[in-house]
Amino acid sequence: MWASRVIITAERPQWAMAAARSMTGFATSVIGCKCEAGIERHLTADETPDRRPGVSVLLFATTGEGIGKRLVERIGQSVMTCPTTACFAGLAGENEVVVGGQLRYFGDGYQISKRLNGRRFWRIPVMDGEFLVDDRFAIQPAVGGGNILILGKDTQATLRAAKAATKAMREVPGIILPFPDGVVRSGSKPGSRYKSLLASTNDPYCPTLRGIAPESKVIPDVDCVLEIVLDGLDLNAVHDAMRRGLRAAAKRGIKQISAGNYGGSLGQYQIRLYDLLKDSKPANDEII
The Cβ of residue 109 has, within 10 Å, a number of other Cβ atoms equal to 7
pLDDT at residue number 153: 96
CB-based contact 238:230 (threshold 8 Å): yes
- Every domain of the chain and the residues it spans: 2-140, 143-278
Dihedral angle, C-alpha 2, 245, 261, 239, nearest 10 °:
50
Q: pLDDT (tens digit, 9 = 90+) per residue, 50-80?
A: 999 999 999 999 999 999 999 999 999 999 9
Does domain 2-140 bear CATH number 3.30.70.520?
yes
**Which of 50-54, 190-194, 227-231 is predicted least confidently?**
190-194
- Please determine whether the domains at 2-140 and 143-278 fall in the same fold group of CATH: yes
Does domain 143-278 bear CATH number 3.30.70.520?
yes
Q: pLDDT (tens digit, 9 = 90+) per residue, 240-259?
A: 999 999 999 999 989 999 99
Q: What is the DSSP string of 166-232?
A: HHHHTTSTTEE--SGGG-BSS-EEE--SSTT-SEEE-GGG-GGGTTTSTT----TT--EEEEEEEEE
pTM: 0.92
Q: 224 exposed, middle or buried (CB, 10 Å; 0-12, 13-18, 19+)?
A: buried
Three-state DSSP class for 94?
A: coil
